[in-house]
Structure 1
Amino acid sequence: MDKVVTIDNYRYSIIKNYKDGFSEEEFKTRLTDYFYDYDYILGDWAYGKLRLKGFYDPKNSKVKEINNYKNIKKYIKDYCAYECKYFIAKKVYK
Structure 2
Amino acid sequence: MEEEKNTEQIQDQLQEQIQEPAQESVVESVEEKPKEPVIVQIGGKNYEIVQNHKEGWNPEVFRDRYSEVLERYDYIIGDWGYSQLRLKGFYRDNHPKATKDSTIASMVDYINEYCNFGCAYFVLQKSKDQPQAKAKSGS
For each residue in 1:3-46, what CA deviation from the matched residue of structure 2 results, as whole angstroms up to 9, or x when unmatched?
A: 11100210010000000000011111111111000000000001
The structure where helix makes up a greater share of residues is 2
- Alignment partner of 1:36: what SS? helix
Structure 1 runs of 4+ aligned residues shifted over 3 Å read: none
Aligned pair count reads 94
Two-structure CA RMSD over aligned residues (Å) = 0.8
Distance in 2 (CA, whole Å) between partners of 1:91 and 1:26 is 19
| Number of the residue aligned with 2:136 | none
- 33, 36, 39: which is aligned to 1:4? 39
Q: Which runs of 5+ in 2 are unaligned?
A: 1-35, 130-139
For 1:1-94, list aligned pairs within 5 A. Answer: 1-94=36-129
Distance in 2 (CA, whole Å) between partners of 1:58 and 1:19 is 25
Q: Which has the larger radius of gyration?
A: 2
The structure where strand makes up a greater share of residues is 1
- Give identity over the alignment, percent: 36
Q: Which runs of 5+ in 1 are unaligned?
A: none
TM-score between the two structures when normalised by the length of structure 2: 0.66
